[in-house]
Amino acid sequence: MSIAEARGLVKRYPSFELKEASFPISEGRITGFIGRNGAGKTTTIKALLNLIHLDGGEVRYFGKPLIGNENEVKQQIGYSTGTVNWYPRKRIRDITGIVKRFYDTWDEDAYRKYMTLFSLEEDKTPLELSEGMKVKFNLLLALSHRARVLILDEPTSGLDPFSRSELLDIFTDLKHEGVAVFFSTHIISDIEKCADDIVYISNGRIIAALPREDFAAKHSLPGETLEETMLRLEKEAAHA
């Protein structure tokens, strides 16, 4: 069942256009959002969160338009980018104390669980964290208020292979609890490991929004891996 939906999203910039992007995000499923750098992934994610003004289309969550219901909807969304821009010298404990005030559904038990799982220390500051640990801290905040939808922009960026695998396992656990996970990545092996659905964007246009098996059946040649399929499709698009 679709828990969120992009309907004909249009955003025009002088050198780029998001062209009527439409796709569902399904409850209890992991959706991998793939495309080369500059294809429109971050623009689309910003549109899903009303962080940019659209030139057309709408985003809906739980059957309601995001516009006009933003405060209610965002209580149920977890959002994370691959980077952290918190005050670099504030302690994690203090940053968390500020963030948790914004969420009626903040779950202290979940927060403590992920603090332990991610091996984070509350007395440290973002300035003292490695790039990978900064990513984990950002994800910790997104996972700690019982969100029904996770919108994640390059969440595995900067993580070592072990930490990436650990995070993908967490996504799988969350989907079994009914959470919808939507994440962009350029690491195709992450998609192959955990994604149920694939949304593929190229040059601002959604080329496919399908279950992973259907995507492979439609776009892959016999014996091709998903990564090989993506490389071939991008080469074909460049020469079209």
**Beta strand ranges found along the chain (DSSP E):** 2-13, 16-26, 30-34, 56-61, 64-65, 77-81, 149-153, 180-184, 197-202, 205-211
Task: Supply the pTM of this predicted model.
Answer: 0.90
CA–CA gap between residue 79 and residue 155 (Å, rounded):
10
Residue from 37, 62, 44 nearest 183 by CA? 44
Percent of the chain with pLDDT over 70: 97
User: Residue 137 to residues 99, 129, 140: CA-CA distances in angstroms?
Assistant: 12, 9, 5
Q: Model confidence over 183-234: pLDDT tens digits?
A: 998 888 899 999 999 999 999 999 999 999 999 999 999 999 988 998 898 8
Give the separation between CA 63 and CA 81, rounded to whole angstroms: 25
Rounded to 5 degrees, φ, ψ at 109 are -65, -40
The pLDDT of residue 82 is 61
- Split at pLDDT 50, 70, 90, the class of 160 is confident
